[in-house]
Every structure is written in structure tokens, then in C-alpha cells.
Amino acid sequence: MLILTCPYCGVSAEETELHAGGEAHLTRHATGASDDDLQSYLFYRKNPKGVHFERWRHSNGCGKWFHAARCTMTLEVFGTYSAQTTQPPADLIKKIKQKRPDWEGWT
């Protein structure tokens, strides 16, 4: 049962207050997309043992979607941030790189 801090309302929320939304920063491939791009968008997801960027919704709280950067192995949470972005904030990436020098980056 994770605890994540909602960046909108500031509540440290129990996982039962949250709804998991899978991998963050997907690109929506639609009109005119190739079959490969569409397949990647609809079905292919990262499953790293390590740093992962995820979508969460504070569904039993303020109702807002947000993003979390988390280690899937140690459950360390590096930070949570707005869902209204196409990439993780630079300072968060820097923080993760400091903690995990071998990390290959988020893309």
C-alpha cells in the first residue's frame, strides 16, 4: 500500500485513495498513424525493474490526475508532479540521476 503525495491538493494519500493509470507520457497516435505506432500506443508498455513514471488519479480525493516517479523494485518515490506535461520536470530527472547514476533516462 503505497503513499503518494498529490501535487494538487498536497494530501499524502493512501493507495486506497488513488487509482493507478499505468505508464505516463504516452504519445497518442491516432489519425494517420502507422500500424506500428498505433500498436505501440495501444498495447506496448514499459515494465522496468527500477525507475518508472506512472499516472495516478487522486480519485477518492481531489479527483486530479498526476504523475509519480517511482522505483518499482525498492518502492522509493522520487517525486510527484503535474499530469499536464509531456515530460518529467528537469529537476526531478536530475534528482533521480544523482540517486541512480546508472539510470538510463526516462525515454
| Chain positions contacting another protein, by CB under 8 A | 1-3, 14-15, 21, 28-33, 35, 38, 41-42, 55, 57, 59, 63-65, 71, 74-77, 83-84, 99
Minimum Å gap between C-beta 14 and another protein is: 8
For cell 530527472, the residue is 93
Name residues whose C-beta falls within 8 Å of residue 8's C-beta, 6 or more positions apart in sequence: 58, 62, 64, 66
- Report residue 50 as a C-alpha cell: 527500477
Minimum Å gap between C-beta 90 and another protein is: 20
Minimum Å gap between C-beta 55 and another protein is: 7
